[in-house]
Amino acid sequence: MPTANAGGVDLYYESVGEGTPLILHGHGHLGWMIYQVPYFSQFYRVIVFDRRGTGRSADPPGPWSAADLALDVRNLMDTLGIDKAIVGGASLGGVISSQFGLDYPDRALALIVGHTIPHVWPLGVQWAYDQIALAERGEPVVVRQPRSYEWEPEGPPTVAEDFPTTLTGRYLATLDRGLGNRDALMKMLRVLTDWDLRPRYPELQRLEVPALVIVGGNEPQKTIELSYEWHQQYKISEFAILPNTHHGATLENPIGWNAAVHGFLTRHGL
């Protein structure tokens, strides 16, 4: 079983293909295995892994921070003998990718910052605490995204309403893509309640690493607005909105997502 001791945290990983390392991450590795690994492994060495607290990776005590999760990526690279890599993620993986680029800029060839925000707006913080309460009760979490405005009755779904009934959705339901047990899930959600990159904007403006900030057109309006704000802070950046796409873009719109990411990497000589 391919498990790497990443600075004392055992992380389950898979490596497919050859060439420039491309690390894709977020939660469990299985979400990438259907659409991203087969495509990108034609051009890169693709590495995916189970984030701490998910799948077959270790679940160290909390609290966790975005810096802890970025350090896991760096330690995984060290264990695998990887000096530099393209580091990309979606959702929490986008948060971690951005943190990685700031904390370890000499280890990043490019960053993919997908489907997340540089800081959480008040209704987003409320949403995170609501999700923690759901996790404590053992109920499903992250089914819908945060509201952008008080007048909204609820936020948009994480994927299109009918996605679970599609062939892909039904297949995904057979895979263990959970966000971890109750305690791990709460530790992960608390990372988001404390997330605020604004104090480090000056560092982003000096960062010599190209970044793609990507978001779905059907994500919360605040996610779209703050993603654009994020893009504007990077010294070298591109911004992409995938039309008719929700938060779960890598599965819901894999052709569009893969094309946007690969096009960005190609334009930057990677």
Q: What is the pLDDT of residues 11-54, one digit of tens each?
A: 999 999 999 999 999 999 999 999 999 999 999 999 999 999 99
Quote the pLDDT of residue 147.
97
Instruction: List the structure tokens of 117.
Output: 């925000």
| Topology of the domain covering 3-267 | Rossmann fold (3.40.50)
Instruction: Tell me the per-residue pLDDT of 77-111, one tens digit each, with 9 for 90 and over.
Output: 999 999 999 999 999 999 999 999 999 999 999 99
**Residue recorded with tokens 């209704």:** 123
Quote the pLDDT of residue 60.
94
Domain ranges in the chain are 3-267
**What's the length of the chain?**
270
Alpha-carbon radius of gyration of the chain? 17
Quote the pLDDT of residue 1.
55
Q: Which segments of the chain have a pLDDT < 50?
A: none
Q: At what angle do helices 66-80 and 92-103 cross, to 10 degrees?
A: 70
As a whole number of angstroms, the distance between CA 41 and CA 20 comes to: 10
Nearest to 14 by CA among 39, 51, 63, 47: 47
C-alpha separations of 153 from 131, 146, 147 in Å: 16, 10, 8
As a whole number of angstroms, the distance between CA 85 and CA 168 comes to: 30
Strand order in the sheet with 21-25: 3-6, 9-16, 45-49, 21-25, 85-90, 108-114, 211-216, 237-242
DSSP for the chain reads: --EEEETTEEEEEEEES-SSEEEEESS-THHHHTTHHHHHTTTSEEEEEPPTTSTTS----S---HHHHHHHHHHHHHHHT-S-EEEEEETHHHHHHHHHHHH-GGGEEEEEEES--SB--HHHHHHHHHHHHHHHTT---SSBPPPSSTT-SSPPBSS-TTGGGSHHHHHHTTS-----SHHHHHHHHHHHHT-B-GGGHHHHTT--S-EEEEEETTS-HHHHHHHHHHHHHSSSEEEEEETT--S-HHHHSHHHHHHHHHHHHHHTT-
As a whole number of angstroms, the distance between CA 145 and CA 157 comes to: 6
Quote the pLDDT of residue 9.
95
